Structure 1
């Protein structure tokens, strides 16, 4: 029973993290692309495409972090000291980005400052998320059920690589989102950006995929022995399919297809990480079962999750449905 509950809740937390990545990823991508705007009108349109949904997207981050604390307190107690610096930088960047989002509409004199804060907050948040992912993939030192590494263990060439990969990938999501939500010259420009960002994203996916098995011999074993070897065939094939859909969508001037294909690349990359990690929640040695809270706590948490997750999904779907369609230059945030 303990394994079943911990596994189910681990999958729910993984779903929350994936939801955050793909939903907040494209609006962080808008911030990353913000300096490319040619005019104030372009900036306003870019921000208006995410104005109704950006703060709701971050609900999944809160759920993922809170769920980790409630369900896997040991993992939380190990991961936080190991990644304290990048996580704090990420949260501060998200705060300044949110403040900039609101304040730039209410000032003229200081608008360039808040525009830069919006851009810098987006880049730093994306970069530190990638660094945290890379540090987790390369493994966290644990001794006596506590973090045993150093203050700077998270800062390595591999984590810097994954940090850059996430920034570029979020830029791809942002550009394809704008293709779907805008029109005219801005949309045309984003098609051009999406092409090069797509090539760069695929390059990073390839390099990270090649280097990941060398971070821990267990990763290599999981990918090339059954049942993991099944994924080593299907995941690259599906990545190839998403790649084809992305570039064909851009070539044929499709609007939704490039965005959906980009999301597919992120989902498949996330699946690859899960295959590498399972059954660990903190690589290389702390498993899902070992890190789980007592069974009574898991049952209590599962009841709350079964109520909250459907509500969040319904709210999210409703918000995107209400604000569907193109964003016009005359549309206003307030």
Structure 2
């Protein structure tokens, strides 16, 4: 049996996307939480908790985009054409946010509020645009021949906008539980107070999207609810409820580590639900991974490079998080 290159590359892209959502999710969430934290010292601690690792988080976004371009060029061209506006806004927001991240430490006290607002708005806009992109994927793209056949603002729908709000809740909860794990005293207590409302907001968003999606897309409804699929996929919502209950309990008993891990699992389960809904299509609703894939020679050549670079990324990512593990010192920070 030969190597199934389209499936391998699909897995690589999904893995890179998930790593980006997890790793950049909590640091975007910290920017969103600035709206709920006014104390300057607390904000400094929040940023210091991610300062040693945040630069490497976008590596996974670059890897996923490059892999999509090389392995599934049709999907790349359709997605870029269909989502050029939200993707461009997301990139500008990430750049603006990165500049604000660096400048807020060097700014005078008079200018610090400006860069704080820039960091907040950049984080908020980048997260919202990513959620809109997820919603547009679920919604699907009209394709004629090998070209996007829709309009420039097909993504501007209530469903996509609601997905943007839902991802904001997910990232804010990731950032909140990250800070619970990394901080102590007043800031940690503040995050415990925010965690339960953010969890309820995320669960509400998951419930609405889970109902809205099959009602709007009969093919997705059949995927989830037709027998025997219903029995195969039933563990996903059950695990969501179980993890949410465990997370609620962890917040209540003031656990340090388990809230963040449960939030990661919730995000993973949400991503799994998305994968179940669209598989095996890489351009929903009708173009699958084989129809969109590049020639086998191209995918095989790229795979050699990927097998070399991905372990390197994983090693330096693990090492950076290992070196900066544990609680942050509020009297030390990024300069």
Above 0.5 in TM-score?
Answer: yes
Q: Residues of 1 paired with 2:107 and 2:96: CA distance?
A: 16
Aligned to 1:22: 22
Unaligned runs of 5+ in 1: none
Paired positions, count:
334
The equivalences for 1:8-157 within 5 A come to: 8-108=8-108, 109-157=110-158
Deviation, 1:181, is: 0.4
Query: For structure 1, which segment, 1-10 or 109-118, has the greater mean C-alpha deviation from structure 2 after superposition?
Result: 1-10
Q: Residues of 2 paired with 1:41 and 1:285: CA distance?
A: 51
Q: Residues of 1 paired with 2:136 and 2:283: CA distance?
A: 11
Deviation, 1:5, is: 0.6
Q: Residues of 1 paired with 2:46 and 2:317: CA distance?
A: 20
Partner SS, residue 33 of structure 1 = helix
Query: For structure 1, which segment, 128-137 or 213-222, has the greater mean C-alpha deviation from structure 2 after superposition?
Result: 213-222
Deviation, 1:3, is: 7.9
Deviation, 1:226, is: 5.3
> Could you list the per-position Cα deviations for residues 42-84 of structure 1 after superposition, in whole angstroms to 9, with x for gaps in the alignment?
1110000000111111110001111100100000000111000
Deviation, 1:232, is: 2.7
Does structure 2 conserve the Cα–Cα contact (< 8 Å) formed by 1:27 and 1:50? yes
Does structure 2 conserve the Cα–Cα contact (< 8 Å) formed by 1:30 and 1:47? yes
Q: Residues of 2 paired with 1:310 and 1:231: CA distance?
A: 32
Q: Residues of 2 paired with 1:192 and 1:214: CA distance?
A: 35
The equivalences for 1:235-274 within 5 A come to: 235-274=236-275
Q: Residues of 2 paired with 1:23 and 1:311: CA distance?
A: 17
RMSD after superposition? 1.3
Does structure 2 conserve the Cα–Cα contact (< 8 Å) formed by 1:228 and 1:275? no
Q: Residues of 2 paired with 1:150 and 1:123: CA distance?
A: 26
Q: Residues of 2 paired with 1:279 and 1:303: CA distance?
A: 24
Deviation, 1:231, is: 4.0
Partner SS, residue 253 of structure 1 = coil
Q: Residues of 2 paired with 1:266 and 1:51: CA distance?
A: 23
TM-score (norm. length: structure 2): 0.97
Partner SS, residue 325 of structure 2 = coil
Aligned to 2:160: 159
Unaligned runs of 5+ in 2: none
Deviation, 1:217, is: 1.8
Deviation, 1:38, is: 3.4
Deviation, 1:36, is: 2.4
Q: Residues of 2 paired with 1:216 and 1:18: CA distance?
A: 24
Does structure 2 conserve the Cα–Cα contact (< 8 Å) formed by 1:2 and 1:289? no
Q: Residues of 2 paired with 1:199 and 1:161: CA distance?
A: 16
Partner SS, residue 240 of structure 1 = helix
TM-score (norm. length: structure 1): 0.97
Structure 2 vs 1, CA of residues 231 and 122 (structure 1 numbering), >3 Å: closer, same or farther? farther
Q: Residues of 2 paired with 1:140 and 1:81: CA distance?
A: 10
Q: Residues of 2 paired with 1:3 and 1:169: CA distance?
A: 36
Does structure 2 conserve the Cα–Cα contact (< 8 Å) formed by 1:30 and 1:175? yes
Deviation, 1:282, is: 0.8
Q: Residues of 1 paired with 2:280 and 2:137: CA distance?
A: 14
